[in-house]
């Protein structure tokens, strides 16, 4: 009897320990109100497309919970411990911050495990997630950044949210011959060489007459919905921004570009583009939106103003004059009075604007980054870089964010630096230097 009693006690003790472990693992969930009362943080573990506003089902809720951060479970494989801790620090999260997650069960579990591993001990679930549509927040024009599964469903003829109003085309954009396109591309996609929209000596956009001919060649009218993607997002963005300038009303980017499609393991196609029937007429005057493309004098007019910003989308070493960023651009430095809008580690990267999977970083993060340099949504804002690609990607993000008065200084640093009379700044400097 005594031995049985000991076993019973041991079993009970083990059971209690297991229960305690289970309870610790599955801490009580919180409502949004309760989390806010605890000054906790909210994390959306879904893909950025759903965080931005795309509904997960045709008539499902759209957007994310108020003030939620996006830490998609799909990013975890691309984030080491240092990067995860840097993300948390950037968003003012400490190991003792109460954190509530929402998304699918598997995504929540994956994110919780990584946060626990990083030392976050108060991680629970949001009990009333996505149940009050009126309080959800979204990217002002999330439909301008499409995601792979949406495009695949559109191609299959299935009903989709924010469907094109009329004829639509998918186009891959890149510089030069379609060497990667020939090996594998999105089924049915046309191909545009960026040399069709910009030309030497300064790599500014081609003339309006040449632009009209290019659009006709690819069967594009003003009312054609064009969905662009690239191996490099900024190549597609360059073409997209120029098409918007021309007057194409509905131009969208595949967020994350070819990498997003490839990672989704969706169908691909090999070979040359299908034959395109040229458009007889664009159907509207070109340019339809001339204000989207600024020349040097218009860019100069934005300097040193509180109601306007000329924004450099170049790496910090480029902005401070350590490097020009390009083998074919010799002068180093920056437009005196320009504000730094961030970019990436060098002239071919845009990490400051990307999630770990290459999709657009949250609008809240981007706006906060810009605000530090006095770049505000109610200003007239023109972006530039070396020759227009990075600036165009940023333009497309600002447009999706709902910034209404944005454009691109086409000539950028290449054109500005070609005239020694234009004022140039070099060296370390802060946001107030542009005031």
Q: How far is CA 38 from CA 97, 154, 211, 327, in A?
A: 9, 43, 56, 53
Q: How far is CA 291 from CA 242, 263, 313, in A?
A: 11, 37, 19
The last residue of one of the domains, among 82, 110, 135, is 135
| 335 and 262 part of one domain | no
218 contacts 276 by C-beta, under 8 angstroms: yes
User: Within a domain: residue 117?
Assistant: yes
* 148 closest CA partner among 274, 265, 270, 273: 265
CA distance 112 to 329: 47
| 257 and 317 part of one domain | no
Per-residue tens of pLDDT for the chain, all 435 residues: 333 334 334 333 434 343 334 334 546 799 999 999 999 999 999 999 999 999 999 999 999 999 999 999 999 999 999 999 999 999 999 999 999 999 999 999 999 999 999 999 999 999 999 999 999 999 999 999 999 999 999 999 999 999 999 999 999 999 999 999 999 999 999 999 999 999 999 999 999 999 999 999 999 999 999 999 999 999 999 999 999 999 999 999 999 999 999 999 999 999 999 999 999 999 999 999 999 999 999 999 999 999 999 999 999 999 999 999 999 999 999 999 999 999 999 999 999 999 999 999 999 999 999 999 999 999 999 999 999 999 999 999 999 999 999 999 999 999 999 999 999 999 999 999 999
| 174 and 252 part of one domain | yes
For 408, how many CA atoms within 13 A lie in the half-sphere containing its CB? 32
Active site residue 233: no
- DSSP H or E stretch at residue 253: strand 251-254
User: Based on the structure, what is the number of domains in the chain?
Assistant: 3
| 164 and 263 part of one domain | yes
CATH at residue 181: 3.40.250.10
pTM: 0.93
Domain span at 425: 291-433
| 185 and 312 part of one domain | no
What backbone phi and psi angles, to 5 degrees, belong to 324?
-80, -25
Q: What angle do CA 215, 217, 219 make, to 5 degrees?
A: 70
Catalytic residue selected from 32, 385, 401, 408: 385
């Amino acid at each position: 009897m005594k031995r049985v009693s000991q076993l019973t006690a041991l079993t009970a003790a083990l059971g209690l320990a297991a229960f305690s472990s289970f309870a610790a693992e599955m801490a009580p969930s919180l409502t949004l109100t309760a989390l806010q009362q605890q000054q906790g943080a909210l994390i959306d573990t879904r893909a950025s497309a759903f965080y931005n506003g795309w509904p997960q089902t045709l008539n499902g809720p759209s957007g994310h919970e108020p003030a939620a951060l996006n830490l998609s479970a799909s990013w975890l494989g691309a984030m080491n411990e240092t990067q995860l801790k840097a993300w948390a620090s950037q968003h003012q999260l400490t190991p003792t911050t109460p954190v509530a997650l929402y998304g699918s069960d598997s995504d929540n579990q994956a994110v919780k495990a990584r946060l626990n591993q990083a030392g976050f001990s108060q991680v629970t679930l949001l009990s009333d997630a996505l149940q009050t549509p009126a309080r959800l927040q979204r990217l002002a024009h999330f439909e301008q950044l499409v995601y792979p599964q949406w495009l695949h469903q559109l191609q299959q003829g299935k009903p989709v949210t924010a469907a094109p109003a009329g004829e639509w085309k998918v186009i891959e954009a890149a510089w030069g011959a379609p060497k990667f396109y020939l090996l594998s591309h999105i089924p049915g996609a046309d191909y545009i060489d960026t040399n069709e929209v910009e030309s030497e000596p300064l790599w500014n956009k081609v003339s309006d007459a040449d632009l009209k001919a290019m659009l006709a060649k690819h069967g594009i009218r003003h009312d054609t919905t064009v969905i662009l993607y690239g191996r490099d997002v900024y190549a597609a963005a360059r073409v997209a921004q120029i098409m918007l300038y021309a007057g194409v009303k509905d131009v969208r980017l595949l967020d994350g570009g070819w990498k997003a499609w490839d990672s989704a393991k969706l169908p691909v196609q090999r070979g040359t583009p299908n034959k395109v029937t040229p458009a007889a007429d664009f159907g509207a005057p070109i340019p339809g939106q001339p204000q989207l493309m600024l020349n040097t004098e218009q860019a100069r007019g934005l300097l040193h103003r509180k109601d306007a910003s000329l924004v450099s989308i170049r790496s910090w070493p480029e902005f401070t004059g350590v490097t020009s960023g390009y083998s074919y651009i010799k002068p180093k430095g920056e437009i005196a009075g320009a504000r730094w809008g961030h970019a990436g580690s060098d002239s071919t990267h845009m990490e400051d604007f990307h999630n770990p999977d290459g999709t657009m970083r949250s609008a809240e993060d981007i706006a906060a980054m810009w605000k530090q340099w006095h770049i505000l949504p109610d200003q007239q804002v023109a972006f530039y870089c070396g020759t227009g690609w990075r600036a165009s990607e940023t333009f497309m993000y600002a447009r999706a964010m709902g910034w209404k008065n944005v454009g691109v200084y086409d000539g950028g640093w290449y054109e500005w630096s070609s005239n020694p009379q234009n004022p140039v700044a070099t060296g370390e400097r802060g946001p107030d230097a542009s005031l």
